[in-house]
Amino acid sequence: MSVEPAATRLRHQVPLLAWLVLVWMLLWGTWSWANLLSGLAVGLTVLVLLPLPHVVGGVRLRPLPVLLFLGHFVTDLVVSGAEVAWQALRPQGLRRTAIVQVQLRADSDLLLTMVAEATSLVPGSLVLDLDRDQRVMTLHLLPVRDRDDVERKRAHVLVVEERLVLAFGSADDVAALERDRAEVAAP
Amino acid sequence: MTALADVVAFACLLAGAFLCLTAGLGLVRFPDVLSRMHAGTKPQVVGVLLVMVGAAIRLGGWSNAWMLLLVAAFQLLTAPVSAHLISRVAYRRRHVRRDLLLVDEFRGAGHQDDGYRGDEPGDAPPEDPGSHPGG
């Protein structure tokens, strides 16, 4: 790996530093200049002592789709929490489970991480494996009724991915998603 | 007004505690590691979030709320990661009840044994390569 110019490296580190300062301020719970300065000092120390690879690829924040995604996410979270809770409580015990593979369309480390995190929490699934090159995610699905149910859950993972890409993806990611959708619809 | 807030906080705390209880029950009642990890993520995360909301209402004050928000955010970020790592290790060490699986698309791809029925001991010897039906 080639050595980057210091300016680029600094630019990539700024969001991380901002996040660390934010966490520091939230931990203290009050706004003050002393907190801001000490947060900056702590953040810089962390960044210097524990250098992280920066996340490649730009990320856009689109406010409306982000809100839409969060809304769906919270509803789905409550629903799947209730579903798993019911499986744990019901007298006849757990339904059958399934392991399926889903072909994802997003092609960025950050987006794939987000999809994996979100699907672990949301549609009754748990990520077993993620093949970065093939973009194939292997999931364990918990309450499964029949094969139709498996397909429904698989489709739901793709819907979650779509919402995430629309909310956070760069223009290229969104374009790629649209292209894939057109390909699926055409034949 | 405060009475109403107290009732809401009370409901959130109770519901959250109940969901955490079901998560614990799931850990005991579910048959294999993968299913247990489901119980350890979803109802538990929702439960913790509800407890946080209840606590934020009851405690009041922004500094408490920010702290609780941080707890909730890290709960959401870390629970899936740890569940993923544990279930991945469990899958590799064959702690999977295959008789309960409706579909297993991970199996044929050379990732896993075909002859083991699941829930073998972790130190079970590697499977005989000849037993793969597809080669």
Give the pLDDT confidence of A22-68 residue by residue, as tens digits.
888 888 777 788 888 888 888 888 888 877 766 655 667 788 888 88
How far is the alpha carbon of B100 from chain A, nearest alpha carbon, in Å?
A: 5
A183 CB-near residues (< 8 Å, 6+ apart): none
Could you tell me if B110 and B134 are in contact, meaning their C-beta atoms sit under 8 angstroms apart? no
Tell me the shortest Cα–Cα distance from A146 to chain B, in angstroms: 8
Chain B residues within 8 A of A98 when measuring between CB atoms:
101-104
Burial of residue A157 (number of CB atoms within 10 Å: 0-12, 13-18, 19+):
buried
- Higher-confidence residue of A155 and B98: namely A155
**Where do the domains of chain B lie?**
2-96
Q: A29 vs A115, which has greater pLDDT?
A: A115
Q: Is A26 within 8 Å of B104 when comparing Cβ atoms?
A: no
Question: Greater confidence, B69 or A171?
Answer: B69
Average pLDDT over residues A106-114: 78
Q: What is the pLDDT of residue B135?
A: 35
Least confident of A1-15, A115-129, A146-160, B49-63: A1-15
Q: What is the pLDDT of residue B37?
A: 82
Nearest to A140 among B26, B34, B46 (CB): B34
Local structure of B51: helix, strand or coil? helix
> Could you report the per-residue pLDDT of B44-79, keeping only the tens digit for each?
888 888 998 888 888 877 777 888 888 888 888 888
Instruction: Give, for A140, the enclosing helix (H) or strand (E).
Output: strand A136-144
The whole-number pLDDT of residue B14 equals 92
Tell me the nearest-neighbour CA distance from A5 into chain B, angstroms. Answer: 32
Nearest to A100 among B87, B100, B105 (CB): B105
B88 contacts A88? CB cut-off 8 A: no
Give the nearest partner residue to A88 out of B26, B46, B81, using CB atoms: B26
Structure confidence by residue, pLDDT tens digits, A3-28: 556 666 666 677 778 888 888 888 87
Element (H, E) at A102: strand A96-103
Residues making up chain B, counted from first to last: 135
The domain B2-96 is classified under which CATH number: 1.20.5, 1.10.3470, 1.10.287, 1.20.120?
Answer: 1.10.287
Residues ≥6 apart with Cβ < 8 Å to A100: A138, A139, A141, A150, A153, A154, B103, B105
Question: What is the residue-averaged pLDDT of chain B?
Answer: 76
pTM of the predicted protein model: 0.75
Distance CA A100, CA A139 (A): 5
* Interface touch A88/B103, C-beta < 8 Å: no
Mean pLDDT for chain A overall? 78
Closest CA to B83 of A74, A88, A81, A120: A120
